[in-house]
Amino acid sequence: MRPLVRWAGSKKKLLPKLSEYWLPTYERYIEAFAGSASLFFHLEPSCALLNDSNNELIEAYNVLKQDPHGLHEKLISIENSEETYYEWRSADTARMSQFDAAVRFFYLNRFCFNGIYRTNRSGQFNVPYGGQKSGAVPTLDEWMQASERLKSAELSSEDFESFVLRNARQGDFVYLDPPYAVSNRRIFRQYSAQTFGVEDVQRLSDVLYEIDQRGAKFVVSYAKSPETKEIALGWKVRQTVAQRNVAGFSEHRRQAVEVFITNI
């Protein structure tokens, strides 16, 4: 099934190649940078741990897991218009219930510009309205399917290193798809000012070594860049071509080399 969340950097076009690394014999599927969780929804593992440092995303997934019908009903009742979008964007989530905060998250994600998640220094979502080309709210059936898939997953929101070190064990499959540091160019800083950066590359390298030492398998997907050599040192590497969809306008989107780094 397709993921319900629009997410810059989603790997949905690379799913056939990423799926080649997965075996049903793995005990658990672990994903440290969940985002839209496109590989998780595609593979449908029977046991999974999903993590993302974006707490709003994880809380929205928790509500989706529990009440897909209510979410869909509320979302389709909200007008897709610029005025309504900015009303929801300016709303204070601290005053909202968990359900209403999830509605806000899914609504803004569906109708924001290019599916980007970005906040200002105060942590407030500040992506502009995306117009009428964002597509309709997914169907009730899709919300129900996503909820059913998430019932096999344990959700958490923490730093990728602490998450992996707390959980990874022999027999696990660990997928890591960090937001691209690539010299911390603004185009790749999709989450917030605290997103994955070049200073985190060494931490990621250390995590891969620990995963391997514990007898688990991992796959990292990353843009080909100077950082890639450091992450890939000592591991198997495969390159493929991917379409970059972070740029705001289609004429600025381009094909780029994606690198898979793995101990499989």
**Can you give the pLDDT at residue 122?**
83
**Can you give the pLDDT at residue 8?**
82
Whether the Cβ atoms of residue 109 and residue 117 lie closer than 8 Å to each other: yes
Question: 16: exposed, middle or buried (C-beta count within 10 Å: 0-12, 13-18, 19+)?
Answer: exposed
Sorted by where each begins, the domain ranges of the chain are: 12-262
Residue type, 74: K
Question: 248: exposed, middle or buried (C-beta count within 10 Å: 0-12, 13-18, 19+)?
Answer: middle
Inform me whether the pLDDT recorded for 237 exceeds 80.
yes
Q: In the structure, what pLDDT confidence band is assigned to residue 165 with cuts at 50, 70 and 90?
A: very high
Mean per-residue pLDDT for 172-195?
66
Question: 127: exposed, middle or buried (C-beta count within 10 Å: 0-12, 13-18, 19+)?
Answer: buried
- Contacts (Cβ under 8 Å, ≥6 apart) of 161: 203, 204, 206, 207
Inform me whether the pLDDT recorded for 246 exceeds 60.
no
**Can you give the pLDDT at residue 181?**
65
**Can you give the pLDDT at residue 249?**
47
Mean per-residue pLDDT for 117-144?
92
> What percent of the chain has pLDDT above 90?
75
Architecture category of domain 12-262 in CATH: 3-Layer(aba) Sandwich (3.40)
Give the integer Cα–Cα distance in Å for 152 and 177.
20
Residues 25-63: tens digit of each pLDDT: 999 999 999 999 999 999 999 999 999 999 999 999 999
Q: In the structure, what pLDDT confidence band is assigned to residue 87 with cuts at 50, 70 and 90?
A: very high
